Amino acid sequence: MNVQEFVKNAITEIAAGVAEARDGLAEYGASAGSDKVYGYTKDNKILTDGQGRTVTLVEFDVALTQADSKDTKGSIGVFLGSFGAGSQGASHGETSSHSRIKFSVPIVLPGDGQQQV
């Protein structure tokens, strides 16, 4: 899996999960997502978009591994902990390099459109 696919899938699944959680929480009078909240935060760092919806920063810390071997083409993949999504060579004479990238993506999570107080 390349970085573009990983980020796209992760953000899509986060938003879908929040939307499903919102539906399940409604019967308990609870909520999840980007409804506006009021109150004190440590550094007063509540971000909003142009429509006043709360923005959540999804933070990524991605390990990239590139492998080259005599018998296969070089490949690059995203590997998370002990789980990997990418191509790994299994031949002898393999060389690999590892890199890490950290970044944040601002998203507006699903909300019901009502402001919470």
Residue 17, SS3 per DSSP: helix
pLDDT at 102: 87
Q: What percent of the chain has pLDDT over 90?
A: 0
59-68, pLDDT tens digit by residue?
Answer: 888 887 777 6
| Residue 34 pLDDT class (50, 70, 90 cuts) | low
pLDDT at 32: 73
How far is 45 from 63, CA to CA, in rounded Å?
28
Inter-residue contact 53 to 36 (CB < 8 Å): yes
DSSP per position, 56-106? EEEEEEEEEEEEE-SSS--EEEEEETTEEES----SSS-EEEEEEEEEEEE
| Residue 86 pLDDT class (50, 70, 90 cuts) | very low
Per-range mean pLDDT, top range of 26-30, 33-37, 75-79 = 26-30
Backbone angles phi, psi at 79, to 5 degrees: -125, 125
Residue 100: pLDDT over 80: yes
| Residue 74 pLDDT class (50, 70, 90 cuts) | low
Q: Phi-psi region for residue 52, left (φ > 0), alpha (ψ -120 to 50) or beta?
A: left
Residue 78: pLDDT over 70: no
Which pair of structure tokens corresponds to residue 80? Answer: 């998370």
Q: What percent of the chain has pLDDT over 70?
A: 61
User: Hey, what amino acid is at 2?
Assistant: N
Neighbouring-strand partners of residue 62:
101
Whole-Å CA distances, 7 to 2, 77, 112: 9, 13, 25
pLDDT at 72: 53
